[in-house]
Structure 1
Amino acid sequence: MEPLELTQEWDKTFPQSDKVEHKKITFHNRYGITLAADLYKPKNTQGHLAAIAVSGPYGAVKEQVSGRYAQTLAERGFLTIAFDPSYYGESGGTPRYLTSPEISTEDFSAAVDYLTSRTDVDSERIGILGICGWGGFALNAAANDPRIKATVTSTMYDMSRVNANGYFDAMSADDRYKLREQLNAQRTEDYRDDSYARDGGVLDPVTDDTPQFVKEYHDYYKTERGYHRRSPNSNEGITKTSVLSFINMPLLTYISEIRSAVLMIHGEKAHSRYFSEDAYKRLTGSNKELLIIPGANHVDLYDNLNVIPFDKIDGFFKNALK
């Protein structure tokens, strides 16, 4: 594995719990990329534990939302890891700030690889949890990896659908063609400049006529509430040309074949709610559930502990991973 320089100080956007042990770990995916993660383990536990790998949101790092989820679930008895995706955060991979439907999905299965190697983990009781764009990658991974026994998605985005079709599928084929022209012109420019232009992250500053959901993103990523120096969304964003692969390679193709348990959570007021509702309709079997949180918006499920249904998530994983 490539050597990584990992920050040892506590630099999360949430306070450290005294109920869990925390340490930095690394693992690699099958593309040879080394990933960095925070491991959370309940104190004073013995034997083989159920384990959960957590990542997301899209453009966030493990010091933000995924770490909060992972630490909270560790307080409830699970061994958890919150990992930085390939190409950003403290994880390896070049070029930096790239995303990919294949590699971003692969990172979840690579996390499962790592967890199965641990002597304190029951390899038959491993689940995953994906937030925002990584909710879609989590479903994609669950469809392809039967080692994943339970999946939770929170405020899920289908990154292929939104990039190829726009919000609420408003883009036409002509719109998509123009987008391809722009992105491939960007490829030409990037190659000539030996660089990778980035999309700018979350809009800053916002104005009165900025869409409400963008204001909500700003309130998280660009303020003390959720800003982190390694987060693409908090800073200069993802590479612009990452969009191309999502347009051309749809996620969620085989989610109807997921045989393990799935819990999907979304806010009633979230602009993205339709992603979860439409994906849920495609799931089969009796062990699938969609939970809509009254009054909640997309970003409420990032860090609002009065809104995130941790009791429900805890009960779901304990039942599915028993």
Structure 2
Amino acid sequence: MTRKPDGPLRRGWTTGACATAATKAALMRLWGGEWPSSVGITLPRGETPVFELAHTEAGDGWAEAGIIKDAGDDPDVTHGALIIARVEASSGGVQFKGGQGVGTVTKAGLPIGVGEPAINPVPRAMMDEIVAEMASEYGQSPDIQITVSVPKGEELAKKTWNPRLGIVGGISILGTTGVVRPFSCAAWIASIHRGVDVAVANGIPHVAGCTGATSETVVQGLYDLPDFAMLDMGDFAGGMLKYLRKYDVPRLTIGGGIGKLAKLAQGAVDLHSGRSQVDFDMLADWMGDDRLRTANTTLEAYQIAGAPLAQTIADKARKQAAQMLGDAPTAVDIVVIDRAGNILARSNP
């Protein structure tokens, strides 16, 4: 994970906000005959950003505009991507089409139906509103096809969770507020939720949440799980477990390093080093070994206490996870690994 910079962070704008602004600019050219030098829109919570145009092109009965996405200080993979919206007359209201670099939904469970372009509901609603607004201003019929394209989107999508969610061929046009808030925990947790939704909608009986790439590789291989059974839990064990309470998922595996799973075993719901710490006195009490009180890291404690500590952490982490799941009929098991991917302990359901 990219390190959060010090000091105040600059916010940015979502792909959905960029697509909406590009749609407005293209409609101004299609219906008004002139390109604006910049275009402003109103976001769902009232912000009024102004966007400069980076691409303009028009032909007989169509116009398209492009805007460079600025994600502010967030390490967003789509920062700097060109978001293009082409508008042309259609029938039956506003129609959405995915152009180059915008993915197509192929699995159930997402808020957009199978076969549809991966343009989420809020961006669609924002573009609907812009069409209605501009049609009223120019005295035109609001029957428009909007094709959203991201020229490098297919390559960018490989760095996102889209492939395991069943979104193929490009990125998603996202955003619930239009604003990118740097290093937002909410955005990561929302992606976990979408992963659960897809797994449940496709009848997956066994899902897994892991703290990082190494533990994910180990757990996926251990149980031969498909990609869309793998939830991108990261540090947000609590966010995953709370959401899983809503569903009848038969089995959950949690995998991770001994340090992060020690935090889960001690009741932490956020396993990030900046938001929770291992209590070495508690480890010492569990093991009846005062030497653990002066350990600097969980790895050092493991080197002192050996395999019994790893097994204790696995068992207690399983118990904590089961408690967080409440009445959900989900059996939990834990896989504790080291940095090389070796399994140190397992706690079975």
If the length of structure 2 is used for normalisation, what is the TM-score? 0.28
Q: Which has the higher contact order (CA 8 A, sep 6+)?
A: 1
If the length of structure 1 is used for normalisation, what is the TM-score? 0.30
